[in-house]
Chains A and B, each alone.
Chain A
Amino acid sequence: MKKILVTLLFLLFGTVANADCNIKSGSINILANDFPALRTLVETAKECKGSADFKVTHSAEHNKIAVPALTANPSEFSVRVAANSSIVPLMNADLIRPMNDLVKKYGKGIQESQLITIDGKVMAVAFMANTQHLYVRTDVLEENGIAIPKTYEEVVAAAEKIRAAGKMKYPYAAAYKAGWNLAEEFVNMYIGHGGEFFKDGGAQPNINNAKGVATLNMLKKLADLSNPDYLTHDSEAIKVEWESGNVAIMTLWASRSGTLLDDEGDAKITAATKLVAPATVGGGNIPAATLWWDGFTLAKNRSDADAEASFRAMAHAASSKEMVAKAADQAVWLVEGFVPGPKSVGVIEAVKMGAKPYPMLPQMGLMHGALGSEIVEFLQGNESAEQALKDVEAAYITKAKEQGFL
Chain B
Amino acid sequence: MPNRSFFWFFLPAGLAMILFIGLPIISTGIQSFYAQHDQILIEVKKCDPFGCKTSVVVDQEATSKIKEEKPLGKFNGFGTYIDRNHLASDQVSEFWSESKSVGEFIGKVGNLPFYKALVFTLTYCVIVTPCVLLLGFIIALSLNAISRKIRGPLIFGTILPMIVTPLVGSLVLFWMIDAEGIIGANLQILMDDPYLSVKSSKALTWITIIIYGVWHHSPFAFVVFYAALQTVPQEPLEASIIDGASRFQRVKHIVLPHIYPVVTFVALISLMDNFRVFEPIIGFSAEGSAQSLSWLIYDNLVNEEVILFGSAAATSIMTIVGISIILTPVLLRTWKEFRTNR
In order of increasing CB-CB distance, the 3 nearest A-B pairs are A228-B197, A365-B305, A178-B288
In the assembled complex, the CB of A110 is this many whole angstroms from the nearest CB of chain B, namely: 12
Q: State whether A372 touches B35 (Cβ < 8 A).
A: no
Beta-carbon contacts of A232-251 to B below 8 Å, as 1s and 0s?
A: 10000000000000000000
Interface residue B151 (Cβ < 8 Å from any Cβ of A): no
Q: Which of B225-259 contact A (CB under 8 A)?
A: none
- CB A203 to nearest CB in B, in angstroms, measures 8
**Shortest Cβ distance from A279 into chain B, in angstroms?**
19
Are B35 and A402 in contact (CB-based, < 8 A)? yes
Which of B38, B91, B305 contacts A88 (CB under 8 A)? B305
> Cβ of B172: which chain A residues have Cβ within 8 Å of it?
none
Chain A nearest Cβ from B286, distance in angstroms: 8
A–B Cβ pairs within 8 angstroms, 17 of them: A94-B58, A94-B63, A115-B47, A118-B46, A180-B303, A201-B55, A201-B56, A227-B179, A293-B48, A362-B57, A363-B39, A373-B113, A395-B85, A398-B85, A401-B35, A402-B80, A403-B308
- The verdict on A179 contacting chain B, using a C-beta distance below 8 Å, is yes
Contact status B58-A398, CB under 8 Å? no
Residue from A86, A119, A232, A351 in contact with B285 in the complex, judged by beta carbons closer than 8 Å? A232
Would you list which residues of chain A between 116 and 174 have a CB under 8 Å from chain B? 116-120, 126, 129, 169
A230: chain B residues within 8 A (beta carbon) = 200
**Other 5 A-B pairs with CB < 8 A, given A398-B84, A402-B310:** A63-B305, A177-B285, A201-B55, A203-B41, A376-B287
A60 contacts B by Cβ under 8 Å:
no
Instruction: Answer yes or no: B302 CB below 8 A from chain A CBs.
Output: yes
Q: Is the CB of B197 within 8 A of A229?
A: yes
Contact with B along A393-406 (1 / 0, CB 8 A): 01101110111110
B36 / chain A contacts, CB cutoff of 8 Å: 402-404
Closest to A350 in B: B50
Residue B1 at the A interface, CB < 8 A? no
- Assess whether A196 is interfacial by the CB under 8 Å rule: no
A296–B83 CA distance with the chains assembled, in angstroms: 37
When each residue 210-235 of chain A gets 1 if its CB lies under 8 Å from chain B and 0 otherwise, what string results?
00000000000000000111111000
Task: For A380, give its contact among B48, B200, B284, B308 (CB under 8 Å).
Answer: B200
Contact B199 A229 (CB under 8 A): yes
Is the beta-carbon distance between B307 and A118 smaller than 8 angstroms?
no
- Interface of A toward B, CB cutoff 8 Å: 63-64, 67-68, 84-86, 88-89, 91-92, 94, 113-120, 126, 129, 169, 177-180, 201, 203, 227-232, 291, 293, 334, 351, 357, 360-363, 365-366, 368-369, 372-373, 376-377, 380, 382-383, 387, 391, 394-395, 397-399, 401-405
Residues of B within 8 A of A88 (CB): 305
B194 vs chain A, min Cβ distance (A): 6
Q: What separation, in Å, do the CA atoms of A120 and B57 have in the docked complex?
A: 13
- Shortest B173–chain A CB gap in Å is 13
Known contacts A362-B41, A368-B305; A229/B200 CB under 8 A: yes
A310 to chain B, nearest CB (A): 21
List the A side residues contacting B5 at CB < 8 Å: none
Instruction: Write the nearest CB–CB distance from A238 to chain B, whole angstroms.
Output: 13
B273 interfacial by beta-carbon distance below 8 Å = no
Task: Mark B295-339 against chain A: 1 for CB-CB distance below 8 A, else 0.
Answer: 000010011111110110000000000000000000000000000
A201, A227, A373, A403: the one contacting B299 at CB < 8 Å is: A373
Number of A-B contacts (CB under 8 A): 165
For B289, what are the chain A residues with a Cβ–Cβ distance below 8 Å?
231, 376, 380
With both chains docked as a complex, state the minimum distance between the C-beta of B305 and any C-beta of chain A, in angstroms.
3
Chain B residues whose C-beta falls within 8 Å of the C-beta of A399 in the assembled complex: 85, 304, 306, 308, 311
Find out whether the CB atom of A86 lies under 8 angstroms from the CB atom of B45: no
Distance in Å from the Cβ of B314 to the closest Cβ of chain A?
Answer: 9
A229's contact among B49, B60, B178, B194, by CB below 8 Å, is which? B178
Contact of A403 with B306 at beta-carbon distance under 8 Å, contacts A361-B56, A376-B288, A391-B111 already known? yes
* A114→B200 contact, CB < 8 A: no
Contacts of A369 in B (CB 8 A): 299, 303-306
Main secondary structure of the interface of B (DSSP, over half): loop
The one of A92, A229, A395 that contacts B306, using a Cβ cutoff of 8 Å: A92
Q: How far is it, in angstroms, between the C-alpha of A92 and the C-alpha of B140 when the chains are bound?
A: 56
B39 touches A405 (CB 8 A): yes
| B114 CB, nearest partner CB in chain A, Å | 11
Q: Distance (Å) between the CB of A394 and the closest chain B CB?
A: 5
Quick check: B55 and A361 within 8 Å, CB to CB? yes
Q: Are B113 and A395 in contact (CB under 8 A)?
A: yes
A365 and B306 contact, CB distance less than 8 A: yes
Question: Could you say which interface size class chain B belongs to?
Answer: 35 or more
Q: Does B23 contact A (CB under 8 A)?
A: no
Judge if B155 is at the interface, Cβ distance under 8 Å.
no
B111 contact set on A, CB distance < 8 A: 377, 383, 387, 391
CB A402 to nearest CB in B, in angstroms, measures 5
Distance A380 CA – B194 CA, assembled complex (angstroms) = 16
Question: Is B164 an interface residue when CB atoms closer than 8 A count as contact?
Answer: no
The answer, yes or no, to whether B195 is at the interface (CB within 8 Å) is: yes
Bound form: Cα–Cα A116–B45 in Å? 11
Q: Give 1 or 0 for each of B53-65: 1 = CB within 8 Å of chain A CB.
A: 0011110100110
Choose one: B37, B58, B178, B197; the contact of A362 (CB below 8 Å). Answer: B58
Q: Which of B38, B84, B113, B303 contacts A404 (CB 8 A)?
A: B38
- The answer to whether B200 and A228 touch across the interface, beta carbons within 8 angstroms, is yes
A49 CB, min distance to chain B CBs, angstroms: 26
Asked whether A404 and B194 contact (CB < 8 A) given A180-B303, A231-B200, A380-B289, the answer is no
Asked if B196 is at the interface (CB within 8 A of a chain A CB), the reply is yes
CA distance A201 to B44 in the complex (A): 12
Q: B288 contacts A92, CB within 8 Å? A: no
Chain B contacts of A394 at CB under 8 A? Answer: 84, 91
Chain B CB count within 10 A is highest, among A63, A177, A362, for A362
* A232→B174 CA distance, assembly (Å): 10
Q: Are A116 and B48 in contact (CB under 8 A)?
A: yes
Contacts of B38 on A, CB cut-off 8 Å? Answer: 404
Nearest Cβ on chain B to A350's Cβ, whole angstroms? 10
A366, closest chain B residue (CB): B306
Q: How far is the CB of A31 from chain B (nearest CB, A)?
A: 15
Q: Point out the residues of chain A lying under 8 angstroms from B45, CB to CB.
A: 117-120
Give the distance in Å from the alpha carbon of A115 to the alpha carbon of B47 in the complex. Answer: 8
When distances are taken between beta carbons in the complex, the residues of chain B under 8 Å from A383 are: 111
Q: A361-B55, A369-B303, A405-B39 are in contact. Are A84 and B48 (CB under 8 A)?
A: yes
Report the separation of the CA atoms of residues A229 and B184 in the bound assembly, to the nearest whole angstrom. Answer: 10
Cα–Cα distance between A114 and B80 once the two chains are bound (Å): 41
- Measured between beta carbons, the chain B residues less than 8 angstroms from A232 are 199-200, 284-286, 288
Assess whether B305 is in contact with A398, with CB atoms less than 8 Å apart.
no
Name the contact of B57 in the complex, choosing from A67, A119, A177, A366 (C-beta under 8 A). A119
Chain B residue at minimal CB-CB distance from A241? B180
B46:A117 contact, CB within 8 angstroms: yes
